[in-house]
Amino acid sequence: MISGAAVLLWGVAALLGTAVLAIAESRRSDSGTRLIYGLTLGISAAVLMVLASRIADNPVTPSTVVLPLGLPWIGAHFRLDALSTFFLIVVNFGGSMASLYGLGYGRHESAPHRVLPFFPAFLAGMNLVVVADDAFTFLLSWEFMSLASWALVMAHHREQDNARAGYIYLVMASFGTLALLLAFGLLAGSDGTYTFDAMRAADPTPFAAAFVLVLMLLGAGSKAGLVPLHVWLPLAHPAAPSHVSALMSGVMTKVAVYGFIRVIFDLLGEPAWWSGVAVLFLGGLTAVLGILYALMEKDLKRLLAYSTIENIGVIFVSLGLALAFKANAMPSAAALALTAALFHVLNHSFFKSLLFFGAGAVLTATGERDMEKLGGLIHRMPFTSFAFLVGCVAISALPPFNGFVSEWLAFQAILQSPDLPQWGLKVMVPAVGGLLALSAALAAACFVKAFGITFLGRPRSAAVELAHEVDRYSLAAMFILAALCLLAGILPGLVIDGLSSVTLPLIGSRMPVQMAQPWLSIVPIAASRSSYNGLLVFLFIAFSASAAAYVIHRFASHALRRGPAWGCGFLDVVPSSQYTAVSFAQPIRRVFGTFVFRARETVEMPAPGETGPARLNVEMHDVIWETLYLPIGRALDFATDHLNHLQFLTIRRYLTLVFLFLIVLLLVLALWP
Amino acid sequence: MAVILELAVQGAQMALVLLLAPLLTGFVRKVKARLLRRQGPSLIQPYRDLLRLMRKEVVLADNASWLFRVTPYLIFATTWVGAALIPTFAAGLTFSWTADLIAIVALLGSARFFLALAGMDVGTSFGGIGSSREVMIASLAEPAMLLIVFSLALVAGATQLSTVAAFMGSPEVGLRVSLGMSLIALVMVAIAENARIPVDNPSTHLELTMVHEAMVLEYSGRHLAMIEFAAFLKLLLYVSLISCVFLPWGLASAGAGLESLAPGVVAYVGKLAVCGVLLAVFETAIAKMRVFRVPDFLGAALMLALLGTLLLFVSRSL
């Protein structure tokens, strides 16, 4: 019997082989595209099958493989346990859906030779990160994943802003890897044991543990998109082709979450209680700021990228709760919070992939990402719009879809927190609960806007009038994901029970078995406390809606007349008089924007008698970019300008400098305790 | 046999909310009219309105999509399910565990999501103005509501409404500051959610000042009937919620026999009447505020709810 880890490595090898093949094949654009996406679809689906059969047997037995690669005295260690199995399912499911979508979408690709080789390589990199079992392999795979995705971001490098997006992504990714490198250095200790097994056994000092937490928040957080390290994400994710955007947003951010969970929950040992406070704070901040940025956005793909930041915040809030409970020896509550986080990981990979596919379909059909030029697509792309609508409802955390279930579990976890002893947590948790609720409500507003402006109303440009429904492969990928959004929402017990094998080794506890509950309800603690039954809610809504429709159609008038829309006596024939993305967000901008974005509105009225139009100018600032990143950039410029002199010294001066530096180093060594 | 009986009681609850919802709105309108020394329409006028709307033809805008035609039924269904899941005359009904209070709030969120989309479907500015203001109001009202749910859940140790109601009816509740704050916040949220004065005016005819009415401006005939019915149900839902949590007296407890249901129904109708009168008095006594004052109003509700929750985190007995 071949072990799970070995199967996975064969899968990775096959993906890498596909990448090499793609270099040769991508010249023949159409058949090559089909061949490559077909192969990646086949490989990731096969890996998915193997993994799905493994998660079924509870508990999952870890399997390991050691290959004589990498550093000679360690080799490359790979391990497949419950946590990595779960994340591999997310990765490979997302990968297979993106490949399926790519079968159709890829035909419109203008530069296939810049996409095809890197797509399987990117998938292989993500797979490798999740199975890596030593620091060296982990970091190498992490960099491989970053670079492959960077290449995909740069696929259309001639387009405006893409080069800048790629540059910022590269800088932030290097920064993140540096933080991870230091974190693993601290974990390895002074004797330099780089296998995860040794790190698990080692017991770092509280000081070192604190540093590891901060470094992981920087390293994994920058990849996942935690505020204020998120700046690259809304630039880079939309710049890539849409199925790659889906992979980056839906899957790669989850790999970053995996890295965080692996180190903080698994390798680091017992957490300190304040680590929960730090993670909760960052998570709550990320959730609210992410969705506020998304609300202000009028580019569809950037809106989705900002919403990814919000969802990462939601996941980190649940992770912070799990840390706080774990530190206070409340294993069942910790299991609930961790389940909520992992459930949201799965959910977000479903609906964010779906939404990016939908945005890609709109892009194919109209060539537009700017919502101000879209509108009325529901008539021209009925299937895409239906699938996109499902994604919008699911991501807005509305029942009976899946997004609601994970938010509900997070709220249930928050309600466990008054038993926490520390005051910092007692004050932080309800405030974060409020932030979570706020971000959920704002997410609904944001996706009303995304769907309403893009698909409803009247067409705002000529391109939209000529739009056609997209190909069958793309639709198949979207509908599979939409169906899963509903399924995970009405049968959450299945997912929760599947996740129990993940929480058990990390927390030492699990949520109660859900599938044994009557009527397939989910009951986190006790039925008298809280329960939710997505299936029944769905059936009730379906029943009441059809009953109402039946009664109406049986007894009420059937008469229907089409007429022009009622404009209160004023006939507005120009589609540009409709509400736009910016005007839709205006009330929310007035409430939150003056504080968060320093938004200002000024009206320029023409003088009486002039025929020029009046103008409303809106001025907004990206406060984080302006207060954090621009000063760093300026400081760097300043430093490089002034250090420039060092390039042009005489040999004597260089020797003096070397000598002085040596003395300083010796002094430091002498004074070091 | 017992199962059939329980299902019958559950069915009776679903039918009861459906029957009473237009009456409650008619009652509030009547009391308001009487307070203004007007005669006012008869109590059953809302039923007549619904029937009249159902008999009329639908005038559909030229570019209305399928979503526009499906939405009224979806909104009606989600609101009805939400209203039927709140204990009205009896707690612990067969399906009361289907959704807890958080899920009921989210169900209303689903209804609002589709209503806001329907407002944008035709592509007129009035629909857009209504939708954008509605989501702004919701983005403040929903977190306030969830914080109220947190407070209730911390006091009662459950988000399950039947359990909360049972706890609130027991003598161990006592007078609590946090509950008082929650009640005030809940009333404020209920007023905003139901588009009542001072947040929105249900009887206005000036499109620019409307929120809810602007969204449904394009609806007519049977579609409008469904939407109106959903609005009636939503008002009933919030009144039921307030009375089930803060006036839990007379609520037939879980597993009680049929004989205790009759006083439960009487008590429920009495509570509706009291809340209806209070709402009418409040609405007559206050003027509608500007749209951009609404965030202040709801911000106050949010802060009250947050304060209530924080107090409970500080001490479970406050």
* Extended strands (E) in A570-630: 600-604, 615-619
Nearest by CB to residue B55, choosing from A442, A529, A557, is A557
Average pLDDT, integer, range A585-598? 90
Residue A200 above 60 pLDDT?
yes
Higher pLDDT, A520 or A127: A127
Residue B8 above 70 pLDDT?
yes
Average pLDDT, integer, range A70-96? 89
**A-interface mutation test, from B18, B58, B63, most A Cβ less than 10 A away:** B63
Average pLDDT, integer, range B147-157? 91
B53-106 pLDDT, tens digit per residue, is 999 999 999 889 999 999 999 999 999 999 999 988 888 787 888 888 999 999
Q: What tokens appear for B206 in the block? A: 């000036």
| Strand, helix or coil for residue B61 | strand
Residue B117 above 90 pLDDT?
yes
Q: Which chain B residues in 12-51 lie under 8 Å from chain A, judged by CB atoms? A: none
Among the listed ranges A133-142, A504-513, B11-20, B134-143, which one has the minimum average pLDDT value? A504-513
B244-266 pLDDT, tens digit per residue, is 999 888 888 766 677 778 888 99
Nearest chain B residue to A418, by CA: B313
Among the listed ranges A196-205, A398-407, A518-527, A598-607, which one has the minimum average pLDDT value? A518-527
Q: What tokens appear for B73 in the block? A: 């039924």
**pLDDT for position B227:** 95
Domains of chain A by residue range? 1-241, 270-488
**pLDDT for position B224:** 94
A170-179 pLDDT, tens digit per residue, is 999 999 999 9
A contacts of B81 (beta carbons < 8 Å): 537, 540-541, 544
**pLDDT for position B208:** 65
Q: Which chain A residues in 576-615 lie under 8 Å from chain B, judged by CB atoms? A: 577-579, 583-588, 590-591
Higher pLDDT, B185 or A2: B185
A483-541 pLDDT, tens digit per residue, is 999 999 999 999 998 888 889 888 888 888 888 888 788 888 887 888 899 999 999 99
**pLDDT for position B105:** 94
A contacts of B75 (beta carbons < 8 Å): none
B contacts of A575 (beta carbons < 8 Å): 123
**pLDDT for position A263:** 94
Residue A321 above 70 pLDDT?
yes
A228 prior amide bond cis, ω within 30:
yes
Burial class (CB in 10 A: 0-12, 13-18, 19+), A452: buried
**pLDDT for position A243:** 94
Average pLDDT, integer, range A452-466? 91
Domain count, chain B: 1
Residue A108 above 90 pLDDT?
no
Residue at A544: amino acid letter? S
CB contact under 8 A, B146 and A560: no
Residue A620 above 70 pLDDT?
yes
Domain that holds residue B55: 2-314
Q: Which chain B residues in 177-216 lie under 8 Å from chain A, judged by CB atoms? A: 207
Burial class (CB in 10 A: 0-12, 13-18, 19+), A257: buried
A243-262 pLDDT, tens digit per residue, is 999 999 999 999 999 999 99
Please give the Cα distance from A543 to A575 (Å, whole number): 38
Nearest chain B residue to A542, by CA: B77
Tokens 């259309």 locate to A156
| Strand, helix or coil for residue A195 | strand
Tokens 């008082």 locate to B180
**pLDDT for position A74:** 77
**pLDDT for position A477:** 96
Q: Which chain A residues in 362-381 lie under 8 Å from chain B, judged by CB atoms? A: 375-376, 378-379
Residue at A110: amino acid letter? S
Residue at A666: amino acid letter? L
Average pLDDT, integer, range A194-203? 88
Note whether ipTM > 0.90 here: yes
- Phi-psi sector, B174: left (phi>0), alpha (psi -120 to 50), beta: left
Please indicate if any CB of chain B lies within 8 Å of the CB of A396. yes
**pLDDT for position A381:** 94
H/E stretch holding A508:
none
H/E stretch holding A161:
none
Average pLDDT, integer, range A471-486? 96
